[in-house]
Structure 1
Amino acid sequence: MNLAHLAATAEYTTPPLYRLLTKTGYFVGLSGAIGATVTYATVVRPALRARQDAGDDTAVLQRRTAGYLAWSGLVLLVAGYFQLAARLARAGKGMPFGDALAPGRIWDYLHAPAGKGAWVAQGTLYLVQNVVLALAAAVLIALFVPGLRRHLDALALTALPLSLAVTLIAGIPAVAPKELDRALDPVFDQVHIVSGTVWIGGLVLLAALATTRGRLSERAGVLWADLWRRFSLVALVCVAAVLTSGLWMSWKHVGGLGQLWTTGYGFALLVKILLVLGMVAAGGVNQFWLMPRIVRARQADAEASLLHLTLRHFPRVVWAEVALGAAVLAVVPFLGGSARTEAGSPPAVSDGGVFAAGAGLVLILGASLYVTARVSDALARRPAPVAG
């Protein structure tokens, strides 16, 4: 089959409604579980332990965190079931989504034998994935029980690796890849998913915690300054991972800039890129404008200004990032197929030049993020009046 014929037969097809809803819901569930547990482990827990003198504020944030994690477990469980049914509806010759929801049909799908050349049955991988998903959800849902909330640390830290395993298991190919490109594809895909869910899910968790400001003391600004500082570092790492993996995936599926607006896949990717850049821009506002003001207010011991900056100004920008992140998750289901296939372009083939160029871009990206952190620190050290 030549490329012209392939392009003529590979038209973009809009995903069915059930696919849009189930895939978006699945990534919402992953963002809630992975993003919340990772952010709790790397941001919230260390900040609360460092501020042991903020007893009442710590108790308020711990209760809200426990409630949030419990709901995220419930969402993950429901979203995981619908995602599994959606996989069944698309498998083989396909079936109506309503029929795929039947537990018996799902059970048969999970026990289907391995295909030719596969080292393991795809259904077996999905079975293991969903057993782990159920365990992660159960651990988080346990936080609905008031008596178990005193074990928040243990439960959250147990759910963290389980939540990560949910997506990592799904990325294991049933057929062992014979080419380096195909071996790297699931690696970059999982880096993209994990970093994206940590970024979006962490933003949502902190935005939800910031709604407790009416129950916090006037000294809570110091605690929140530490929370935002710690998460800024996590977000920088996530941005680097999202952009690096996104470059690889874009190169694999898009053969030229023109395909971003002449193919269905390319247009969906273009929308996603613009939304992600919007999130990066909002993060830049926090990094270059708000964080330096927060640092100066903290150094001046200006409690009123610090509280206003950390629990008024900062969450407003974060909620804007959350809205953009939600839009990104809504666009993800539209990224089916490949712009190269739609346009009849040859598939992407890696070589030494491609890897060298990629390594150069990664170094440039890393250097730019380092400069970002240094510039933010320099702005914080500038002598400037503290605004309320």
Structure 2
Amino acid sequence: MNNALLAANTAGYTMPPLWRILTKSGYFTGLCGAIGATVTYATTVRPALRAARTDAAGDVAVLRHRSARFLAWSGVLLLVTGYLQLAARVARAGKGTPFGDALAPHRIWQFLRAPAAKGAWIPQGTVYLAQNLVLVLTAATLVALFAPAARRRLDALAGAALPLSLGTTLVAAVPATRPKNTDAVVDLALDQVHIVSGTVWLGGLALLVALAAARGRLGDAAGPLWADLWRRFSLVAMVCVGAVVVSGLWLSWRHVGAVDQLWTTGYGAALLVKLLLVLGLVAAGAVNQFWLTPRIAQTRRANDTASLLHLTLRHFPKVVWGEVALGLGVLGVMPFLTGSARTEAHSAHAASSAAVFSAGAALALALAVSLYATVKASDALARRPAATATV
């Protein structure tokens, strides 16, 4: 009976082709590199490097150089994945256009210059043209950091690339036609919140593990510097977690009408896998917040240089590498989130109401309170006697 129900419900689910899986996952990986790295550099790396002790000048130079290289390669990745994503849009828009043919520049140009559809205030191709112009400008700004002369202006170039990288996704979200109702507007807004917060979270983790890989070139004074880096990013990640959860709850409610649709529909099964991966990310973050971060603070206060280096550059990065692996899993499952579980299960479409928005606001407030309590609990653990900070 259950097998028959699953077969019936998933009959409306279309498995994406391989090129669609690779291009979509690749594109969001590119966004993680561009958005996540620039935001993390601005909010975490640059402030920590500026606040570093004078005896860590050599470590600061190493991390600045490595940050510049990471950002430059992020620009290359964004440019390549952005082009492939644009070709994928052409293949999806055309009737039976093979992906290989969609890679041709003249087909892409035809797609971008197509006239507006009936009722549209702007051609969809024009929106994508504007988006990709921003994407190219973002990539060029980042790729410039390969040049030694440009690396001396790392802060300025990273700062310029930050709003441009955000524009890469925000411009693409501009609707070519007027949204049908308030729910459609909320969908657009929270979808971008979900993308930006998720890419900052995952891209920031990737940047920090890349920087931690330079530990062999760092001195004993790197411990306090890295303690500050992890502390700053923990706050950034916590904000991202809150934004991902709030936006994800809305988007999940819009596409899933009942809990059992998570395992009786194709869309629901893909979403369930994504939810489990995100829960794993949150669990790893909780380990950092309640176990590693307090011990780093205690060890730093005790001036235990050897233990501090071990925690910040050996132990902590291992946990973060696990988070990066889970994040890659999230990116890998995203292309399978096509259609809607509600449609597959033939259930009613989601429609908001004052009660729905009130419940959402209450959940968001409860989440904010819980995150605040998490920070306070972590601070309280950090203030415990240093004897508990055994590595």
Q: What TM-score bracket applies, with the shorter chain setting the length?
A: over 0.9
In 2, Cα distance between equivalents of 1:377 and 1:147: 42
Tell me the amino acid that sits aligned with residue 304 of structure 2.
A
How much does 1:52 deviate? 5.0
Tell me the amino acid that sits aligned with residue 169 of structure 1.
V
Counterparts in 2 of 1:224 and 1:8: CA distance versus 1, 3 Å: closer
The SS at the match of 1:358 is helix
How much does 1:131 deviate? 0.4
Tell me the amino acid that sits aligned with residue 282 of structure 1.
A
Unaligned runs of 5+ in 2: 1-7
Match of 1:74 among 73, 76, 90: 76
Counterpart residue number, 1:87: 89
The SS at the match of 1:350 is coil
Counterpart residue number, 2:26: 25
How much does 1:146 deviate? 1.4
Scaled by the length of structure 1, what TM-score is found? 0.97
In 1, Cα distance between equivalents of 2:171 and 2:191: 12
In 1, Cα distance between equivalents of 2:178 and 2:232: 39
Match of 2:207 among 202, 205, 208: 205
Counterpart residue number, 2:4: none
In 2, Cα distance between equivalents of 1:52 and 1:64: 19
How much does 1:387 deviate? 2.0
Counterparts in 2 of 1:365 and 1:97: CA distance versus 1, 3 Å: same
Counterpart residue number, 2:103: 101
Aligned sequence identity (%) = 69
The SS at the match of 1:336 is coil
How much does 1:383 deviate? 1.4
**Aligned positions, number:** 382
The SS at the match of 1:344 is coil
Counterpart residue number, 2:351: 349
Stretches (4+) displaced over 2 A? 7-10
Counterparts in 2 of 1:205 and 1:8: CA distance versus 1, 3 Å: closer
CA shift digits 1:159-205 (9 cap, x unpaired): 10000000001111111113100111110000000000000000000
* 1:45 matched to 2:46: yes
In 2, Cα distance between equivalents of 1:9 and 1:147: 56
In 1, Cα distance between equivalents of 2:332 and 2:305: 39
In 1, Cα distance between equivalents of 2:175 and 2:275: 27
How much does 1:92 deviate? 4.0
The alignment yields a C-alpha RMSD, in angstroms, of 1.1
Counterpart residue number, 1:382: 384
After superposition, where does 1:233-382 map in structure 2 within 5 Å?
Answer: 233-382=235-384
In 1, Cα distance between equivalents of 2:178 and 2:50: 45
How much does 1:148 deviate? 1.1
Tell me the amino acid that sits aligned with residue 271 of structure 1.
V
Counterpart residue number, 1:172: 174
Counterparts in 2 of 1:375 and 1:106: CA distance versus 1, 3 Å: same
Scaled by the length of structure 2, what TM-score is found? 0.96
Tell me the amino acid that sits aligned with residue 98 of structure 2.
P
